[in-house]
Chains A and B, each alone.
Chain A
Amino acid sequence: MILTAITLGFILEKVILVSIILGGSLGIAMYSTWAERKVAAVMQDRRGPNRAGPFGLFQPLADGLKLFMKEEIIPTLSNKFLFILGPSLAMLMACMTSAVIPWGPNIVHADGSVFTLQVADINIGILFIFGVVSLGVYGIMLGSWASNNKYSLLSGLRAAAQAVSYELAMGLSLIALVMMSGSLSMREIVEQQHGFWNNGYFTWNFFKQPLAFVIFIVCSFAELNRAPFDLSECESELVGGYHTEFSSMKLGFYLFAEYINMFITSIILSSLFFGGYNYPGMDWVALHVSPLFVSIIGVLVLLGKAVAFILFFMFIRWTLPRFRYDQLMDLGWKSLIPLALFNMLVTGAIILAFQK
């Protein structure tokens, strides 16, 4: 059975790994808020936060402290249990996806024991991510409904409809990728993109499935509720969107969950399409440095790619105007889904042609 393999050392190893990953993603999400404001400032020719610490680096701490200290208000006519459950669920779902991500190459000790930089290498890793993403919308829906506020409810409905619509295109775009790699395990998909160049072609999936990548990244903008798809919190129509009634750390959880999601999505994008922890010349590096450093370099490469994606998300947010809701639905259902289906068909045809 699966359950017999669990020993104390195994549990300890995983607990440490989970704590590092969660702490790391929280830290990166924290500094994403700072980076977002800095990026916005640069794009709008301002200075951005620069009072707290050098370059305003302590700004996230100050913001966090402020959110903790604020008065907590729960509306009288709200459903209290669901009102608290909403932000908690948003945070929980944001943190859960990191479990199946391969953060770096295995560390092989001198005595042959292997330390995997992945919490769980389940054979359905991609589907696990989809499951968690599809549950992520509950946090917004429940919170918005429990607020007992018209604007919140409208925003929650928008968020749910948007998430369900774009999940379809997202899944379809990934099917082409899965058909090509023949596996649903994240680790295997990343391992297949080993190095950068092999057999006269790029190994990274981006060069094999450019269309799938474009569809996937557009859908992840929508799933993250980020501009230009931030219809669920558009302040000109819905006051504050689904978190209108939330205050103090509950609001903080919603905002923070968005940044964690952005980080995790960037990691997933780089793992699935940009080789994860693989980089050009990694075989040469593996021959010349100790195995521990190989893993550390791999993790750093993955984080570097993720940071590039986070910056890309931010550039888009401060460049493009918001969509109208019917345009959003048109794009999802009438452009992205047919494109993804077409991509699937072409991929299938090419795979068949190469088999013969």
Chain B
Amino acid sequence: MNIYQITFWILSLFTLAFAIGVIMSRNPINSVLFLILTFFCISGHYVLMNAQFLAIVNIIVYAGAIMVLFLFVIMLMNLNSDTEPQKNFLVQFAGVVSGGALLLIMVAAIKSSLTGLEGKNIDLINSTDIGLIKNLGTVLFTTYVFPFEIASVLFLSAMVGAVVLGKKDSALKTAE
């Protein structure tokens, strides 16, 4: 085992441990903190794959912005085990089914990507500049420009939706 593999296994171990911590901890604040640690470990994996840009963007966007908002909401709601609503059987069952479906999709995706990789040149993964921002940008704006633009439209619609929701509230208040 070389140092690359050792780092990989240690990182994976930590990632899984933190991910289990997210769902096992009773205090939602601790869950959020475990999730942040999980994101850090995933960023570590990106660095191992020479994708420093993705690693740092993962930290900025998820750990730095989205999780701050999560923490924000949870701090305001002051959730604890006493006030947590007991979910009924139907909700639990729906959760299990949707979670299982997601797992199936992910396993299938990994399996199909593995079969596609056979016989192909894997040197590409080991080259040091695959994750550089220049290459990423080139690929994003040539091969994948259509999905990229679609995603931007999706974000725009989400933003417009948020603004509309915020506006409606204030308009109601002034009308009262």
Contacts and interface: CB of A to CB of B under 8 A. Distances in A.
B3 A3 contact: yes
Given A123-B52, A128-B56, A160 B64 contact: no
B132 interface: yes
Given A3-B3, A130-B60, A135-B64, A124 B72 contact: no
A141 B56 contact: no
Interface in B1-58: 2-4, 7, 29, 33, 36, 50, 52-53, 56-57
B75 A156 contact: yes
A122 B52 contact: yes
Contacts of A137: 68
B133 interface: yes
Given A124-B133, A141-B71, A184-B133, A131 B65 contact: no
Interface in A155-200: 156-157, 160-161, 163-164, 167, 184
The binding surface of chain B is classed by DSSP as helix
A135 to B, nearest CB: 6
A79 B30 CA distance: 11
B3 to A, nearest CB: 5
Nearest to B67: A138
B76 interface: yes
A160 B133 CA distance: 29
Contact of B72 (A82, A127, A131, A161): A161
B56 A164 contact: no
Nearest to B54: A124
A159 to B, nearest CB: 10
Interface string B79-100: 0000000000000000000000
A145 interface: yes
B75 A153 contact: yes
B130 interface: no
B125 interface: no
Contact of B59 (A135, A156, A164): A135
Nearest to A128: B56
Given A137-B68, A141-B68, A127 B60 contact: yes
A73 interface: no
A33 interface: no
Interface residues of A, number: 30
Contacts of A138: 36, 68, 71
Interface in A260-285: none
B69 interface: yes
A124 B53 contact: yes
B75 A157 contact: yes
B72 A157 contact: yes
B65 to A, nearest CB: 6
A351 to B, nearest CB: 15
Contacts of A3: 3-4, 7
A241 to B, nearest CB: 15
Contact of B64 (A79, A131, A161): A131
B175 to A, nearest CB: 20
B59 A131 contact: yes
A69 B32 CA distance: 35
A123 B51 CA distance: 11
A127 B56 contact: yes
B69 A164 contact: yes
Interface string A40-83: 00000000000000000000000000000000000000010010
A131 B132 contact: no
Interface in A102-140: 122-124, 127-128, 130-131, 133-135, 137-138
Chain A to chain B: the 8 pairs with minimum beta-carbon distance, closest first: A134-B64, A127-B56, A131-B59, A131-B60, A3-B3, A145-B75, A131-B56, A124-B56
6 contacts: A3-B3, A4-B3, A82-B29, A124-B56, A138-B68, A161-B72
Interface of B: 2-4, 7, 29, 33, 36, 50, 52-53, 56-57, 59-60, 63-65, 68-69, 71-72, 75-76, 128, 132-133
Given A3-B7, A130-B56, A131-B56, 17 more contacts: A2-B50, A4-B3, A82-B29, A123-B133, A124-B52, A124-B133, A127-B53, A130-B60, A134-B68, A138-B68, A141-B68, A141-B75, A145-B75, A156-B75, A157-B76, A160-B71, A167-B65
